[in-house]
Amino acid sequence: MNVILYFQPSSKTSAPGKLAGVQEIAEKNGWHVQSIDGFPPAGNIRKLVNFWKPIGAIAECGNEHTEIDTRIFGEIPVVFFSHNPKTLPASCFSVSHDSIATAQLAAKELLMTGFENFAFIPYAERRYWSEERQRGFCDALTLNGKHCTVFKCKADTTDVTGRQEALRHFLTRLPKPCAVFAANDKTAAETVTAARFEGLAVPDEIAVLGVDNYAQICEHTVPPLSSIELDFRRGGNLAAMLLLAIAHGKDGVQGGMHHLTFGPLRVVRRASTRLLSAPDRVVREALELINREACQGLRSAKVASLFPCSRRQADIRFRNATGHSILEEIHAVQLECAKQMLEDSNVQLKTISDFCGFAHPNSLRKFFRAQTGMTMREWRRRVNR
């Protein structure tokens, strides 16, 4: 059996999506993907190559500013994944996400809030993708006649307290309301925390948008965090396809390119950027409850009970603020959950209803078709082709 080694940092939020994309192409070509957590020392890499005798490797290789001695892999073809291509030899093959495209999507999303003031929060440590997102976001705003204020912190990158204090001071001095784009979800969560400690209302005074759509962060900030989801599965596809092309003696894909990029997939909107037509604390609490429990069988009556009025008046108040009913909001969250699960071809269709708050698979099937005009199988086929 042909084996490819996939070196991946286990701590990265994007790892499952990338690996799934690699495996999708590998299965079609009869490859076995052997994942290796972390990026071992050079001596261990040589031993792994001798042990597995792979036909190639895909490597996420640690610090992006480090220049890598590509000779440690010997004669096997290698595709470097999510590494700064500027630190790689010109002859190397690599795949990374398009940070400029992600920043442009962020600018479009935040410009639509109607805010006139904008800011960018870089990642705490120097990263090329953070620098590119800053440049792309600022350029897109300039093109639209807007200005972007960039957070600059003199604190040491290991001084978490110093950075948080500087961030709080920065946010208080911004003209309000202000739409903030953060380099990634971790940075966005820091921003939301800083805003709340300063008594700044999110999103009415400070709207915050992150990148990665990492649910463990986005769903647990208060309020839940809007984020741009990158097409990590597509990135994995490209890395495996590029490796396949090299193994077959072709000079890369797409006309001999050595470096390929994948872009953003979508914006996942949550409460950190959702501006209500009329600020309403109870409506915001209702939205947070729906985001947390919609896929656990949440009923409209439980949401309506948050309001100090009749159920009918609660629904009217919710609709006036958001543009739709309580039940429609619950259904929107359930539909989004179903779509996310359908992207994973390993998840059986009959089990998805259990994770989306539906008592029976048939109920979800009927609901999904009514909402999308497609069966769940048709939807899966479309997004995974």
Residue spans of the domains in the chain: they are 2-97+232-265, 100-229, 281-383
Tokens of residue 232, six digits? 């990590």
pLDDT tens sequence across 271-300 = 899 876 666 789 888 988 998 899 998 999
DSSP letters along 214-259, please? -HHHHTTSSSPPEEEEE-HHHHHHHHHHHHHHHHTT---BTTTBSE
- State the burial class of residue 183 (Cβ atoms within 10 Å of its Cβ: 0-12, 13-18, 19+): buried
Please tell me which residue, 370 or 187, carries the higher pLDDT value.
Answer: 187
Q: What is the CATH number of domain 2-97+232-265?
A: 3.40.50.2300
Rg of the Cα atoms in the chain: 23
Q: Which of 20-29, 46-55, 90-99, 376-385 has the lowest mean pLDDT?
A: 376-385
CATH topology of domain 281-383: Arc Repressor Mutant, subunit A (1.10.10)
The tokens describing 287, both together, are 């939205």
Nearest CA among 243, 216, 218 for reference residue 33:
243
Residue 254: the pLDDT is 46
Strand, helix or coil for residue 182: strand
Residue 253's pLDDT is what?
A: 47
Q: Residue 186, exposed/middle/buried by CB under 10 A (0-12, 13-18, 19+)? A: middle
In the predicted structure, residue 257 carries a pLDDT above the cut 60 = yes
Entry pTM: 0.75
CB 22 within 8 A of CB 79: no
Q: What is the mean pLDDT of residues 67-73?
A: 73
pLDDT at 279: 65
For the domain made up of 100-229, the CATH class stated in words is: alpha beta
Domains 2-97+232-265 and 100-229 share a fold: yes
Percent of the chain surpassing pLDDT 70: 91
Mean pLDDT of the chain: 87
- pLDDT at residue 214 is higher than 90: no
The answer, yes or no, to whether residue 139 has pLDDT greater than 90, is: yes
Q: What is the per-residue pLDDT across 298-337, written as a single tens digit (0 to 9) for each?
A: 999 999 999 999 999 999 988 888 878 999 989 988 988 8
